[in-house]
Amino acid sequence: MKDNTSGFSTSLLHVHICLHCTAVFRREEVEGRVHTTGLFLCPRCEREGPLNVEIRDMSAGETEDRMPDG
C-alpha cells in the first residue's frame, strides 16, 4: 500500500504476537481453532497464552526478519 502523504510504501499486516517470547505470526499461520478458543500455543517457545492480535505497519524486510521460519 502506498502512503500518498509521505511517498513511502506501507505494508499493514494482521498478526499475532506471542506474549511470552514476542514472536510474530501472520494471521494465515494461526490455525482456525485458535480463533474460536482464543488460546494460542506458540511454536517458538511452546507456551500457551491468549490470542494477541495486532495490525502492524511493517516493511517487507522487517516482516521476514520478525517472522519465525516454518
Tell me the pLDDT tens digit for each residue of 14-48.
Answer: 899 999 999 999 888 887 778 788 899 999 999 99
Q: How many other C-beta atoms are found inside a 10 Å radius of the C-beta of residue 68?
A: 13
Question: Which pLDDT value is given to residue 57?
Answer: 86
If one compares 65 and 55, the residue with the highest pLDDT of the two is: 55
Q: Is residue 55 part of a domain?
A: yes
Number of domains in the chain: 1
Q: Are 20 and 42 in contact (CB under 8 A)?
A: yes
Q: Is residue 18 part of a domain?
A: yes
pLDDT digits (tens, 9 = 90+) for 48-64: 999 999 998 876 545 43
pTM of the model: 0.63
Question: Which pLDDT value is given to residue 16?
Answer: 92
Backbone angles phi, psi at 27, to 5 degrees: -55, -35
Domain that holds residue 58: 12-66
